[in-house]
């Protein structure tokens, strides 16, 4: 990617997003190494300045210097906050005898739910890929959940989602796509965003379907974005998520807010893609060896127009995937309903 103002902004917004999560001095020092260190991001982009022409060079150079200064000040500020924050109940007040040989005490607090752990893990991957993280709202209006997505009232595709409505006509969001129009209208191009949150569906439950599920929506809009960019980006994410070269396939699909629309499928990790476990049909993938992970496609010109974007000039892709299914495939969990059951024997394994 050529070095420009946008590249610098991406480094900056990533650095600040990661810094917000830094919660101790060790992570802070890792952060400093990553962004301000000898082989860090700032030095990386500084090295590319010499490739610019003489007009751009001083402008970009100044921006990088400002960035460096801003990051150093932010790191100092964070360091002070971490050093002066009130000691937690586990730390030892100054002057107190600390018995190194005493048996450890179990902190009776439990740990993060596997979905929360994996949500943070996925977010970190996307942040490294240059995406901004947004959260969805859980109750929304018809316009955002349907109409702005090329589904006017009475559109038959609305039946794809068995929707829970509130008494006053609002929607318990059926997908994180409800945030698309907000992001498309409030951010400037290039837009690279993910939207994370809980969705709700009034549907029959089985090993793959839950009434409450978690989705991660992706949006990328710029000039010349193609379907191959979508496939490459999503595959890269999956490779990182599963830490292997994953096997995926795509097949055509229809969603009113994309054209063309596709679906991503992953080979089922429970039956190793065979569709059969102990001579029985694999109930997780329904016996076909593939599990549907995401709907996706090129953002429909009507949606871009609704956001005031010229589809002759810009194009983009979008996807929405179920995080629960991704986590099931990562850990070989055969039934999605385990996540919400509150059974400690399940939860404690993560
Ligand atoms: N919102 C869709 C669903 O929940 C998934 C989806 C399909 C999201 C295509 C997208 C997309 O962003 O482009 O079923």
In angstroms, what is the span from residue 286 Cα to ligand 1's centroid? 21
Q: Which of 149, 225, 296, 325 to mutate to test the pocket of ligand 1 (most atoms within 8 A of CB)?
A: 296
Pocket of ligand 1 from Cβ distances under 6 Å: 175, 177, 217, 255, 257-258, 261, 295-297, 318-320
Q: Which ligand 1 atom is at minimum distance from the Cα of 161?
A: 14
* Residues 230, 136 within the same domain: yes
Residue 107 domain-assigned (yes or no): no
Residue 236 domain-assigned (yes or no): yes
Q: Which ligand 1 atom is at minimum distance from the Cα of 174?
A: 4
Q: Report angle CA 31, 36, 42 to the nearest 5 degrees.
A: 120
Boundary residue ending a domain (30, 55, 89): 89
Q: Whose CA is nearest to atom 10 of ligand 1?
A: 319
Q: Whose CA is nearest to atom 9 of ligand 1?
A: 296
Please give the tally of structural domains in the chain: 2
Question: C-alpha 193: how far from its chain's center?
Answer: 8
| DSSP code, position 86 | P
* Residues 172, 262 within the same domain: yes
Q: Which ligand 1 atom is at minimum distance from the Cα of 297?
A: 13
Q: Which ligand 1 atom is at minimum distance from the Cα of 219?
A: 12
pLDDT of 87 reads 56
Neighbours of 149 (CB within 10 A): 26
Token pair recorded at residue 168? 């006053």
Q: Which ligand 1 atom is at minimum distance from the Cα of 322?
A: 4
pLDDT of 224 reads 97
* Residues 158, 37 within the same domain: no
Measured CA to CA, the distance from residue 344 to residue 349 in angstroms comes to: 9
Q: Which residues form the domain of 148?
A: 114-347
Boundary residue ending a domain (89, 122, 146): 89
pLDDT of 59 reads 94
* Residues 118, 264 within the same domain: yes
Token pair recorded at residue 317? 């892709």
In angstroms, what is the span from residue 345 Cα to ligand 1's centroid? 33
Q: Report angle CA 241, 243, 244 to the nearest 5 degrees.
A: 120
Per-residue pLDDT of the chain (350 residues; tens, 9 = 90+): 678 999 999 999 999 999 999 988 889 999 999 999 999 999 999 999 999 999 999 999 999 999 999 999 999 999 988 887 755 555 666 667 778 888 887 776 778 999 999 999 999 999 999 999 999 999 999 999 999 999 999 999 898 899 999 999 999 999 999 999 999 999 999 999 999 999 999 989 988 899 999 999 999 999 999 999 999 999 999 999 999 999 999 999 999 999 999 999 999 988 989 999 999 999 888 899 999 999 999 999 999 999 999 999 999 999 999 999 999 999 989 899 999 998 999 999 99
Measured CA to CA, the distance from residue 96 to residue 98 in angstroms comes to: 6
* Residues 122, 70 within the same domain: no
pLDDT of 108 reads 67
pLDDT of 1 reads 62
Strands 191-200 and 132-135: parallel
Q: Whose CA is nearest to atom 4 of ligand 1?
A: 175
Q: Judge contact between 198 and 163, C-beta under 8 A.
A: no
Residue 42 domain-assigned (yes or no): yes
Measured CA to CA, the distance from residue 215 to residue 100 in angstroms comes to: 45
Q: Which ligand 1 atom is at minimum distance from the Cα of 294?
A: 5
CATH number at residue 310: 3.30.930.10
* Residues 52, 194 within the same domain: no
Neighbours of 164 (CB within 10 A): 15
Residue 106 domain-assigned (yes or no): no
In angstroms, what is the span from residue 147 Cα to ligand 1's centroid? 14
Model's pTM, two decimal places? 0.70
* Residues 179, 309 within the same domain: yes
Rounded (10°) CA dihedral 267, 273, 277, 283: 40
- Residues making up the chain, counted from first to last: 350
Measured CA to CA, the distance from residue 75 to residue 22 in angstroms comes to: 10
In angstroms, what is the span from residue 350 Cα to ligand 1's centroid? 29
Q: Whose CA is nearest to atom 12 of ligand 1?
A: 319
Q: Whose CA is nearest to atom 7 of ligand 1?
A: 295
What phi and psi, each to the nearest 5 degrees, are found at residue 169?
A: 85, 15
């Amino acid at each position: 990617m050529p070095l420009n103002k946008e590249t610098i902004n991406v480094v900056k917004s990533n650095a600040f997003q990661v810094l917000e999560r830094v919660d101790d001095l060790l992570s802070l020092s890792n952060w400093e190494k990553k962004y301000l260190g000898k082989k860090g991001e700032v030095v990386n982009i500084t090295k590319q300045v010499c490739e610019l022409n003489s007009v751009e060079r001083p402008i970009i150079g100044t921006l990088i210097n400002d960035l460096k200064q801003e990051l150093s000040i932010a790191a100092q500020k964070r360091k002070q906050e971490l050093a002066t924050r009130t000691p937690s109940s586990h730390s030892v007040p100054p002057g107190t005898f600390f018995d190194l040989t005493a048996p450890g005490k179990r902190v009776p607090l439990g740990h993060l739910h596997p979905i929360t752990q994996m949500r943070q893990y996925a977010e970190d991957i996307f942040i490294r890929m240059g995406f901004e993280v947004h959260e969805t709202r859980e109750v929304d209006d018809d316009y955002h959940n349907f109409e702005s997505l090329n589904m006017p009232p009475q559109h038959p595709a609305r039946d794809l989602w068995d929707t829970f409505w509130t008494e006053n006509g609002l929607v318990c969001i059926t997908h994180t796509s409800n945030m698309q129009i907000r992001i498309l209208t409030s951010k400037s191009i290039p837009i690279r965003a993910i939207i994370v949150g809980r969705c709700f569906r009034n549907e029959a439950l089985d090993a793959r379907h839950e009434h409450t599920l978690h989705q991660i929506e992706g949006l990328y809009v710029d000039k010349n974005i193609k379907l191959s960019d979508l496939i490459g980006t999503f595959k890269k994410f999956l490779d990182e998520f599963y830490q292997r070269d994953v096997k995926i396939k795509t097949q055509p699909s229809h969603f009113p807010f994309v054209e063309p629309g596709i679906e991503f499928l992953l080979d089922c990790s429970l039956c190793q893609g065979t569709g059969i476990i102990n001579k029985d049909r694999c109930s997780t993938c329904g016996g076909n060896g593939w599990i549907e992970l995401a709907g996706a496609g090129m953002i429909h010109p009507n949606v871009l127009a609704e956001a005031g974007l010229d589809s002759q000039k810009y194009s983009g892709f979008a996807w929405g995937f179920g995080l629960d299914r991704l986590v099931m495939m990562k850990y070989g969990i055969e039934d999605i309903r385990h996540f919400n059951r509150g059974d400690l024997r399940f939860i404690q394994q993560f």
